Amino acid sequence: MTQLETQLTALRQEAQQAIAAIVTLEDLEQLRIKYLGKKGSLSQVLGGMGKLSAEERPKIGSLANEVKEALQTGLDQKREALQAAQIEAQLEAEAIDVTMPAVYRPQGQAHPLTSTIDRMIDIFVGLGYTVATGPEMETDYYNFEALNFLPDHPARDMQDTLFLPDGNILRTHTSSVQIRYMEDNDPPVRIIMPGRCYRRDTVDATHSAVFHQLEILAVDEGLSFTDLRGTIKVFLEAMFGEIPIRFRPSFFPFTEPSAEVDVQWQGRWLEVMGCGMVDPNVLKAVGYDPETYTGFAAGLGVERIAMVLHQIDDIRRLYASDLRFLRQFQS
C-alpha cells in the first residue's frame, strides 16, 4: 500500500468518526469545509498525485473518489438526522395542550357612538359624498371669521368656546373643516365632516363639554333649498324609517336662509339638526364666486341621534365606559 493510499484510508476513518460526533448543523458545515473544501484535507492529500507514476494515478484517483463519496454521503445523512431532530425539538417545545381550559376573551363590539357615525357615513357615501377631516385645535379664523362670525358678534356667544393659552381654540363645530376643504378644492363639492367638538357646557343629562358632530356640505351650480330638503329627507328616512319631518326657520351665521329640522319620534317632535343655504360671505372667504355657485350645509349631533335610536336617557352614559351599559349594544 502506497503512502497516499494509507493517507486516504486514514482520512476516511478520521472524518467518519468526526461526523458521528457532530451535534449541530453549524459544526457539521465546518467539518465539511475542513475535509471537502477547496483547501480541505482531501485536496491536500491529492496534491501529491503529481509525483505518482502513470500506473498508480488511476488507482489513487479511484480511491480518492470513493473516499469523497463516502464522506459526502456521511455528511448528507448526518445533516438529515440533525434537521429532523431540530424539527422534533421545535415541535415538542411549541406543542399545545388542547386539553387545557381555554382562556375566555369576550368579543368586542363598536361603541354606540362609533356605530352611529359609521351608519351615517355609509348613508352619505352612498349618496356620493366623501369624508373630510380637520384639526380639533383651531384658529379663530377657521372656526369663526371665515364662517361669517364677525368679531364681537353676539352669535359667538352661542358657541361657549374653550380658549387655549396660545390664542387658538378647541373647535366648537366641524364647520371649520368646510373652510379648509374648500380652500384646497374647486367646486363641485360634496363632503361630510364627522368629528369631535368642544364647548364650555355644564355637563348634565343632555349636555357634554365633549361631543361629536357630523356636518354636510354641497356646493355646485344651481343648488337650491329643495336639494337640501331632499337630501335631509333621504338621510333621515334611512336612519329612522319613514317618519314625519318638519323644517322650522332658524338662524346660523354661516347659512341664509337657515332652518332647524325635527322628526316625529314616538309621538313627539324631536330636533335633530340645523341646516341652511351657505351664506355668500362664506363662499367669498374661500374664493368661490357666489354669483356662480350656491351650496347647502347641515349639521347634527351624533350623541342626539344615538340617544334617540337606542332610547338612552342620559348622555353621560355614552362616556362612562360602564360595561353593563355597553354590552347592550353587542351585535
| 10-residue averages of pLDDT along the chain (331 residues) | 73 84 86 78 68 69 78 87 88 81 82 95 97 95 91 67 91 95 96 95 89 97 97 95 94 94 90 96 96 97 92 92 86 57
Assess if residue 224 is contained within a domain.
yes
Q: Are 288 and 321 part of one and the same domain?
A: yes
Say what the pTM is: 0.67
Print the domain residue range for 46. Answer: 3-93
pLDDT of residue 16: 85
For cell 351664506, what's the residue?
279
Number of domains in the chain: 2
Distance CA 221, CA 188 (A): 8
Q: What is the pLDDT of residue 7?
A: 75
Instruction: Give a yes or no: residue 105 inside a domain.
Output: no
pLDDT in tens, 114-172: 999 999 999 999 999 999 999 999 999 999 999 998 777 665 666 688 889 998 999 99
Domain ends where: 65, 93, 121?
93
Q: How far is CA 272 from CA 15, 79, 232, 286, 292, in A?
A: 88, 74, 11, 28, 31
Residue 100 counted as domain residue: no
- Give the pLDDT confidence score for residue 201 in this predicted structure: 85
What residue has cell string 431532530? 85
Same domain? For 185 and 265 the reply is: yes
What pLDDT, on a 0 to 100 scale, did the predictor assign at position 183? 96
Establish whether 256 is an annotated binding residue.
yes
Indicate whether 280 and 181 sit together in one domain: yes
In angstroms, the CA 211 to CA 194 distance is 11
Q: Which helix (H) or strand (E) holds 246?
A: strand 245-252
pLDDT at 153: 64
Q: Based on the domain organization, do 324 and 291 belong to the same domain?
A: yes
